[in-house]
């Protein structure tokens, strides 16, 4: 019996039009372009301003981009897995809204939550559906409206985050390409270092939680930074070793875009020059689980069949990991 691999056969993405620049932030909090640029590497981020639109709206645009560019009938999509930390509601799922609004009426749907690494978790999950042989087309979508949870009075977090969505289509192939390997890790030591402190079943919303500004992202940046470099570097190194990949075999590293200094440190640890590292943080900021598919979308034309990609991410929990993807197609024109 031949082995079924799960290949990425199309990508899609969406960024809202409104931009929030460092100059805009200088008017809101005690910060400056020089600090944000040198400490984080961000110049501007995209913002979905309309409060009536959330993560699902972003996800819908990204899926429509993929479907229209690939000419795929949404009725042929068997499954849609959506990862988000900023879903429209606690329930219903954001995946069910995106499937409905894009015409993916025959797809099973669910939300998958695993902080910023959510997309790489969802990619491996989607790949397993394909590998089972029972599903032919699975969409993996990451959609985040981070700015809905950003405190624009907190200079430590407000420069970091932006909004956006990216997605990929997984289909079966008998060729030796696609999602080749994955490695994930969790350590609850980070539980309080990066957290949305209220609005869940612990600390449900109340006047007090709103007054204490507990519905916004809280982050102890330095602690997260240290663990991020260590976690991303070690999982990349491990997945390369067990797949026999030397530094020179890696065509692209696709890292989570949280801080240019973290990306730089991981690339140095992997001995991969920055020319082979996907970076778009300067104009996108940190879109949480959407950073990696947005990179694939923006760099799609530079990717070639057979390229070895190492995707890696780190986030709240802590949770982190790496996925090895062998790219399945030449640039489409
Ligand atoms: O996506 C999920 C995973 N998240 C991450 O991976 C993020 C990891 N952490 C980081 O990227 C960095 O820790 C931050 C960008 C969040 C912060 O950078 P840092 O170099 O760790 O700065 P810090 O928090 O240690 O603060 C250094 C100084 C402080 O001043 P003092 O105490 O040294 O006088 C801060 O008050 O920088 C100050 N500071 C600012 N100054 C100007 C903090 N935020 C700002 C700001 N503008 N926006």
C-alpha 39 to ligand 1 mean position (Å): 7
Domain shared by 42 and 137, yes or no: yes
pTM check: above 0.85: yes
* CB burial string 58-82: b at 16+ within 10 A, e below: bbbbbbbbbbeeeebebeebbbbbb
Residue 272 falls inside a structural domain? yes
CA end-to-end span of the chain = 35
The rounded Å distance from CA 219 to ligand 1 centre is: 9
Q: Are residues 299 and 166 in the same domain?
A: no
CB-ligand 1 contact for 225 (6 Å cutoff): yes
Spatial distance between the Cα atoms of 148 and 171, rounded to a whole number of angstroms: 34
Write out the residue range of the structural domain in which residue 43 sits: 5-175
Residues in contact with 225: Cβ distance below 8 Å, sequence separation at least 6, in sequence order:
259, 261, 262
Ligand 1 atom nearest the C-alpha of 115 is 2
Does residue 256 carry a catalytic annotation?
yes
Give yes or no: residues 48 and 166 share one domain. Answer: yes
78: left (phi over 0), alpha (psi -120 to 50) or beta: alpha
240 and 262, same domain (yes or no): yes
Give the closest residue to 66 by CA, choosing from 108, 119, 23, 103.
103
State residue 333's pLDDT score: 66
pLDDT tens digits, one per residue of 222-276: 999 999 999 999 999 999 999 999 999 999 999 999 999 999 999 999 999 999 9
| Whether 263 and 299 share a structural domain | yes
Cβ–Cβ under 8 Å, residues 332 and 314: no
Cα–Cα distance list, 66 to 55, 103, 215, 220, 291 (Å): 17, 13, 33, 36, 17
Read off the pLDDT of residues 118-159 as tens digits, 9 standing for 90 and up. 999 999 999 999 999 999 999 999 999 999 999 999 999 999
Selected catalytic residue, list 22, 259, 286, 308: 286
Q: Whose CA is nearest to atom 19 of ligand 1?
A: 222
Question: Which residue shows structure tokens 């956006």?
Answer: 164
DSSP-based three-state secondary structure for 174 = coil
> Among residues 22, 158, 256, 259, which one is catalytic?
256
Q: What's the CATH code of the domain at 314?
A: 3.40.47.10
Residue 209 lies in a domain: no
Catalytic residue flag (residue 185): no
The answer to whether residue 295 is catalytic is no
Are 19 and 91 contained in the same domain? yes
Q: State which of 152, 156, 314 you would mutate to test the pocket of ligand 1, scoring each by most atoms of that ligand within 8 A of its C-beta.
A: 156
Cα of 222 from ligand 1 centre, angstroms: 7
Phi and psi at 100, nearest 5°, equal: -60, -50
The DSSP secondary-structure symbol of 165 reads E
């Amino acid at each position: 019996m031949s082995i079924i691999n799960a290949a990425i056969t199309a990508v899609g993405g969406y960024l809202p039009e409104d931009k929030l620049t460092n100059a805009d932030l200088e008017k809101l909090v005690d910060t400056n372009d020089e600090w944000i640029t040198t400490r984080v590497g961000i110049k501007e981020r995209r913002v979905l301003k309309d409060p009536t639109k959330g993560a699902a709206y972003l996800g819908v645009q990204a899926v429509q981009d993929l479907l229209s560019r690939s000419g795929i009938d949404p009725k042929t999509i068997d499954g849609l897995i959506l990862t988000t930390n900023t879903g429209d509601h606690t329930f219903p799922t954001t995946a069910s809204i995106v499937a409905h609004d894009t015409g993916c009426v025959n797809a099973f749907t669910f939300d998958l939550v695993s902080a910023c690494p959510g997309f790489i978790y969802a990619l491996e999950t989607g790949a397993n559906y394909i590998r089972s042989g029972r599903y032919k087309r699975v969409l993996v979508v990451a959609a985040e409206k981070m700015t809905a949870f950003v405190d624009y009075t907190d200079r430590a977090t407000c420069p970091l985050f932006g909004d956006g969505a990216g997605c990929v289509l997984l289909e079966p192939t008998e060729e030796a390409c696609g999602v080749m390997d994955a490695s994930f890790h969790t350590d609850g030591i980070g539980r309080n270092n990066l957290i949305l402190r209220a609005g869940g079943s612990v600390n449900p919303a109340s006047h007090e939680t709103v007054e204490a500004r507990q519905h916004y992202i809280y982050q102890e940046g330095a602690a997260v930074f240290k663990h991020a470099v260590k976690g991303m570097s070690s999982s990349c190194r491990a997945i390369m070793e067990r797949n026999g990949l030397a530094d020179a075999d890696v065509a692209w590293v696709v890292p989570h875009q949280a801080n240019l200094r973290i990306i730089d440190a991981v690339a140095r640890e992997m001995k991969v020059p920055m020319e082979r590292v996907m970076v778009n943080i300067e104009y996108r900021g940190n879109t949480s689980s959407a950073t990696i598919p947005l990179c694939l979308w923006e760099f799609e034309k530079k990717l070639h069949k057979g390229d070895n990609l190492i995707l890696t991410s780190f986030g709240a929990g802590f949770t982190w990991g790496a996925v090895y993807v062998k790219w399945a197609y030449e640039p489409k024109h």
